[in-house]
């Protein structure tokens, strides 16, 4: 049974069509003081429940809703409860980068476990290795194939694929392999205190390039890579990602740097969502 949280309704509908299983939509409201309320309008007793609830902004509210739903499902007799959070909040704080910092993602995973969940599915988590330290089974579903298939559908002929940072290289290589494209890497360095990003990359020559990154947040990194490619004479540069957070004027920065357009998935509801991860998530759940 799919249980659609307030931040997962659209994805649950898509997955329900693919999986042919019913969806129960969780009722929710906010109390006048801002606290969350949830109620299940049907029984979950004896079911293997898959909760679809994104934890994109506002992350803290969406996480609390996920916690309330998980515990409620267990208390009301669900056999197993899994959480599908296509974008998992706090995943980028996976280390103590500065002395004294909290490793936020591990706390979040502990809280998910404590809320009655047996398993968590997410898409292209920022650091896949975190699964080995997670207190709860964490299934990292990869969406590079869905992105590559979409680029093929757009009729792009062997665009140069450009990765961002070390972590992005595996992802971009996978996309390049499917497209039979050449592949180049851009290095990015972020100042931990000011947040300013610097990008460096070797010379490339191409008519069309697609920059592939896991996340676009403030757009600073993507804009720098797009700018560098435009300065090297690349005619068309597409800015693609799996998770489009797009905060603080990210679109303007990226388009201002000369991008043709932004191409994103639907892990986070956004106006640039051109391809869906519902298929890869449904396959993972079925497996």
Residues at the site binding ligand R5P, with contacts judged by CB under 6 A: 164-165, 167-168, 188, 197, 213-222
CA pair distance 281, 12, nearest whole angstrom: 10
Q: Burial-class residue 11 by CB neighbours within 10 Å (0-12, 13-18, 19+).
A: buried
Closer CB to ligand R5P, residue 162 or residue 164? Answer: 164
Shortest distance (Å) from residue 196 CB to ligand R5P: 10
Three-state secondary structure of the chain: CEEECCCCHHHHHHHHHHHCCCEEECEEEECCCCCEEEECCCCCCCCEEEEECCCCCCHHHHHHHHHHHHHHHHHCCCCEEEEECCCCCCCCCCCCCCCCCCCHHHHHHHHHHHCCCCEEEEECCCCHHHHHCCCCCEEEECCHHHHHHHHHHCCCCCCEEEEEHHHHHHHHHHHHHHHCCCEEEEEEEECCCCCCEEEEECCCCCCEEEEEEEEECCCHHHHHHHHHHHHCCCCEEEEEEEEECCCCCHHHHHHHCCCCEEEEECCCCCCCEEECCHHHHHHHHHC
Closer CB to ligand R5P, residue 8 or residue 165? Answer: 165
CA pair distance 162, 174, nearest whole angstrom: 11
Shortest distance (Å) from residue 284 CB to ligand R5P: 22
Closer CB to ligand R5P, residue 95 or residue 177? Answer: 95
Closer CB to ligand R5P, residue 50 or residue 215? Answer: 215
Closer CB to ligand R5P, residue 72 or residue 188? Answer: 188
Shortest distance (Å) from residue 170 CB to ligand R5P: 12
Shortest distance (Å) from residue 253 CB to ligand R5P: 9
Shortest distance (Å) from residue 79 CB to ligand R5P: 37
Shortest distance (Å) from residue 269 CB to ligand R5P: 18
Closer CB to ligand R5P, residue 36 or residue 93? Answer: 93
Shortest distance (Å) from residue 168 CB to ligand R5P: 6
Closer CB to ligand R5P, residue 214 or residue 266? Answer: 214
């Amino acid at each position: 049974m799919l249980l659609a949280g307030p931040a997962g309704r659209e994805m649950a509908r898509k997955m329900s069509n693919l999986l042919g299983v019913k969806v129960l939509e969780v009722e929710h409201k906010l109390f006048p003081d801002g606290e969350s309320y949830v109620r299940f309008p049907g029984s979950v007793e004896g079911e293997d429940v898959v909760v679809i609830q994104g934890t994109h902004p506002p992350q803290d509210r969406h996480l609390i809703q996920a916690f309330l739903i998980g515990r409620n499902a267990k208390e009301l007799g669900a056999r197993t409860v899994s959480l599908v959070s296509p974008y998992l909040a706090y995943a980028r704080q996976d280390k103590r980068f500065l002395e004294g910092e909290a490793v936020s993602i591990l706390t979040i995973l502990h809280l998910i476990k404590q809320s009655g969940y047996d398993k968590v599915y997410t898409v292209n988590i920022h650091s896949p290795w975190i699964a080995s330290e997670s207190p709860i089974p964490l299934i990292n579903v990869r969406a590079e194939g869905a992105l590559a298939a979409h680029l093929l559908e757009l009729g792009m002929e062997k665009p140069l694929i450009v990765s961002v940072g070390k972590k992005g290289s595996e992802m971009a290589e996978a996309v390049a392999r499917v497209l039979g494209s050449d592949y180049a890497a851009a290095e990015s360095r972020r100042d931990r205190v000011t947040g300013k990003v610097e990008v460096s990359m070797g010379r490339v020559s191409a008519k069309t390039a697609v920059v592939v990154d896991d996340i676009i947040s403030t757009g600073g990194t993507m804009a720098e890579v797009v700018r560098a490619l435009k300065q090297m004479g690349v005619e068309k540069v597409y800015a693609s990602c799996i998770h489009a957070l797009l905060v603080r004027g990210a679109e303007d920065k990226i388009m201002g740097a000369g991008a043709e357009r932004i191409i994103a998935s639907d892990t986070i509801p956004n106006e640039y969502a051109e391809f869906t991860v519902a298929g890869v998530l449904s396959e993972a759940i079925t497996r």
